[in-house]
Structure 1
Amino acid sequence: MNTIGKQKFGSYDRDDVVFLLKDLSDYNLEGATEQREKAIQAGQHYSESLPIEYQPPAGYLQLFYETLHEYKLKVALCTGIVSEQIYRLKGKDTVLVSLARAGTPIGIMIKRYIAAKYKIDIPHYSLSIIRDRGIDENALLYILKKHAGKNIQFVDGWTGKGAISIELTKACNRFYEKHKILLDDTLAVLADPGNCTSLFGTREDFLIPSACLNSTVSGLISRTVLNDRMISEHDFHGAKFYKNLQKNDVSNEFLDIITQEFSGVYELAEEGAENLINAEQIISFKGMEEVKKIQHDFSIESSHYVKPGVGETTRVLLRRVPWKILMKDENSPYVRHIKALAGERGVEIVHYPDMSYTCCGLIKKVNS
């Protein structure tokens, strides 16, 4: 069942976001990490199954809260800088479309910032995009029908090596060929360390606290699923609502803590946005060149096994089978949670100063 107009899906308020997803909560899609990794490396697409949701120990959760309070102002400022650019470029007729799930809390923060600063309630939807499978066209068509003539703005959390940015561009091109509707493929993110977009809050590879956790900071929604056994051609892509994790949910608390900082960053956000709009933004995808170098240095057969950036490294540790973690500086404040996760899982940390990213996660080859 698609979630539009149905019972509550996820722990966010519908005023913050409307999920355009098929509810797969009753399906058993999770598998043990090692077995799932073997299946993916043997050719099964990662979107056909789900990882078991990592539930952090108390010490790690404490680290999340410390990180949140340490970087709440920085996250608020980056949100403001992105929001100001979106508002200046697209105005009050914008529709925010965040990429589930990492993009969803970012989209909510942008919506809240614009509402607080400009007293305008911009619609916000969250839909699925999947590497090598494309964007959910049924969800896009729903938005375009409901908001004819509005300006869609795609939103995500951060960039790694740029795979989703590239996927979004390909998807928008296919959408135009099929429907003759031209969409702006510019992806708005808080952090763009891979130089993959012109619309960002910073290009510093810093820790966005929501990257530390999974569904419990993302509205209790799973990763999105595209599986022919459950998703028909007329359905939205799917996801699960983990109601059983409600006692661990910090999704709205995270948002409220960041939102409280907005009024103090208005001036700096305007200034930052102005500077970025007036500057020539070079999209070099430099991260992909660094990935190729890492591939060579560590004899890795596929770039899919190299996940650069704080956010992507965290994901490797939370839901893949990690091999090694590369760190530019082990004393960086942005990697404390990564060191904690690596220690818990017995993963080697390698000093690797020759990269622009703060860190990089390497996935273990498990089929050999």
Structure 2
Amino acid sequence: MHKMVKKHIKIGTYKEEDVLFLLKDLSDTKLEDSTINRERKIQSGTHYSESLPIEYQPPQEYVELFWKMVMEYKQKVALCIGVVAEQIYQLKGKQAVLVSLARAGTPVGILIKRYIKLRYEVSLPHYSVSIIRDRGIDENALNYIMSEHSEGKIQFVDGWTGKGAISLELTKACKEFEDKYGRKLDDTLAVIADPGYCTTFFGTREDFLIPSACLNSTVSGLVSRTVLNEKYIGKNDFHGAKFYRELISADVSNEYIDVITAEFASIFTKADEISTKRRNEEIDTGFYGMMNVESIQADFGINNTHYIKPGVGETTRVLLRRVPWKILLRDASSPFVQHILMLAREKGVEIVEYPNLQYLCCGLIKSVKEIDK
């Protein structure tokens, strides 16, 4: 019999009625390393999930730009959430169990839960669990959810797609889970934006700025990225994360959720129309972003596609927590890349015009050889 792990924990600043985290609290463990050291280790074979980057705290002008983008695009974000939420509810109804992939998925899962509660007066369970590229999903967390909701239909949720690495990781993890435990899971990933053509459950396929991609933990309940390091995580533990209490004065997580939630009532009808229409369409999931990535790899002589991060969300992450080499832009005048230009200027990163991008932009990570020159 599978040994059951302990219950969810209270971690971070979100309310428990919004999300339950199935994570081990590693707040008192020293896991951070400088960006350069971490990059060296990752590129020489240490897995990225074994340590954490030092959380970059942006200047005031960047936070102001974040709020400007939130206010400008709150209705667009709300509509994309609504379209995805309608698709989930039409397909799985009251049996849906929302499972966000920590951490970018967490605010999205909360918003989907809030939308369904407002629209259908149904409060769906919502958990946040860890999935890690090349290491799979937290099976202890999935087993816990299944023991709590034996009739539930799990719906995985994330923020956006880039190349589709996490979509592929999820499909593989669900297959392994079924082989091991005999439980079939739906591996469809619900996202706000799917510019990589990786899923059938999306709000839009436009590569646009999802404001929660702009910041790190301060828009994700002050929870760190997830950690899987066997020094701290036993075989019956959930994957780990830290609660950055020291950043509480900069936390905008709940405020962001409330701003988007306030828009839902005005987009109910439109969200319903779009999702109903989409249900009757053949939706192509050709992972076209990957072809784009391969041509970038050839053009710039990059030896590993892990160093290529396409799309607004992924490019932002490269600037916030990796060592960027170049930023490729299809259109520097797009409102969705202004924060990227600001970060690139601040960090002295070269911007390259690259018109034949399927995405609005793409972040290239510096190879260690370049760093150490």
Q: If the length of structure 2 is used for normalisation, what is the TM-score?
A: 0.97
Q: Which amino acid aligns with 1:332?
A: S
Q: Who is 1:258 aligned against?
A: 260
Determine the structure 1 residue equivalent to 2:146. Answer: 144
Equivalence for 2:53: 51
Q: Matched residue of 1:246: which SS? A: helix
Alpha-carbon distance in structure 1 between the residues aligned to 2:223 and 2:232: 17
Q: Please list the CA deviations of residues 279-298 of structure 1 after superposition, one character each: whole Å capped at 9, or x if unmatched.
A: 10010000011000000000
Q: What residue number does 1:205 align with?
A: 207
| 1:64 aligned partner | 66
Change beyond 3 A, Cα 1:3–1:357:
farther
* Residues 353-368 of structure 1 aligned to structure 2 (within 5 Å): 353-367=355-369
Offset from partner CA, 1:214-251 (integer Å, 9 cap, x none): 00000000000000100010000000000110000000
Q: 1:265 & 1:360 partners in 2: Cα distance? A: 31
CA distance, structure 2, for counterparts of residue 311 and residue 272 of structure 1: 24
The residue matched to 1:311 in structure 2 has which SS?
helix
Amino acid at match of 1:270: D
The offset of 1:4, in angstroms, is 3.3
1:87-146 per-residue CA deviation (whole Å, 9 max, x = no partner) reads 001111110000000000000000000000000000000000000000000000000000
Deviation at 1:276, TM superposition (A): 1.1
Q: Which whole-Å CA distance do the structure 1 matches of 2:123 and 2:201 have between them?
A: 21
- 1:355 deviates by 1.3
Within 5 Å, which residues of 2 pair with 1:4-83? Answer: 4=7, 6=9, 8-83=10-85
Q: Distance in 2 between matches of 1:81 and 1:278?
A: 14
Amino acid corresponding to residue 22 of structure 2 in structure 1? L
Instruction: Determine if contact 1:295/1:306 at 8 Å carries over to the other structure.
Output: yes
Judge conservation of contact 2:8–2:22 (CA < 8 Å) in 1.
Answer: no
1:25–1:242 contact (8 Å) kept in structure 2:
yes
Contact 1:38 1:367 in 2 (8 A): no
Conserved 8 A contact 1:176-1:182? yes
Say whether residues 1:328 and 2:333 are aligned partners: no
Q: Give SS of 1:62's match.
A: helix
Matches of 2:264 and 2:214, distance apart in 1: 22
Correspondent of 2:237 among 235, 238, 252: 235
Matches within 5 A, 1:102-117: 102-117=104-119
Aligned equivalents of 1:319 and 1:43: distance in 2? 18
Contact 1:3–1:21 (CA under 8 A) maintained in structure 2: no
Q: Which amino acid aligns with 2:50?
A: E
Q: 2:246 aligns with which of 226, 244, 247?
A: 244
8 Å contact 2:8–2:20 — kept in the other structure? no
Between the aligned partners of 1:277 and 1:52, the Cα distance in structure 2 is: 43
- CA shift at 1:275, angstroms? 1.4
What is the distance in 2 between the residues matched to 1:206 and 1:63? 15
Aligned residue number for residue 89 of structure 1? 91
The one-letter code matched in structure 1 to 2:255 is: E
Conserved 8 A contact 1:42-1:367: no
Letter of the structure 1 residue corresponding to residue 7 of structure 2: I
CA distance in 1, matches of 2:70, 2:28: 33
**Unmatched tracts of structure 1, length 5 or more:** none
1:99–1:126: 8 Å Cα contact kept in structure 2? yes
On the 8 A contact 1:75/1:208 being kept in 2, the answer is yes
Please give the TM-score of this superposition, normalised by the length of structure 1.
0.98
Q: What is aligned with 1:299?
A: 301
* Pairwise CA distance, 1:3: 7.8
1:149, CA displacement in angstroms? 1.1
* CA distance in 2 between partners of 1:336 and 1:4 (Å): 42
Name segments (4+ residues, structure 1) moved above 3 Å: 2-6
Task: Name the Cα RMSD after superposition.
Answer: 0.9
Tell me the matched-pair count.
366
Distance 2:362 2:180 in 1: 37
The 1-side partners of 2:82 and 2:30 are apart by 39
- Contact kept? 2:65, 2:339, Cα under 8 Å: yes
Q: Distance in 1 between matches of 2:33 and 2:263?
A: 39
* 2-structure distance, mates of 1:352, 1:71: 25
Residue equivalent to 1:317? 319
Query: How many Å separate the matches in 2 of 1:224 and 1:136?
Result: 10
Counterpart secondary structure, 1:184: coil
Distance 1:123 1:45 in 2: 32
State the match for 1:181 in structure 2.
183
% identical aligned pairs: 64
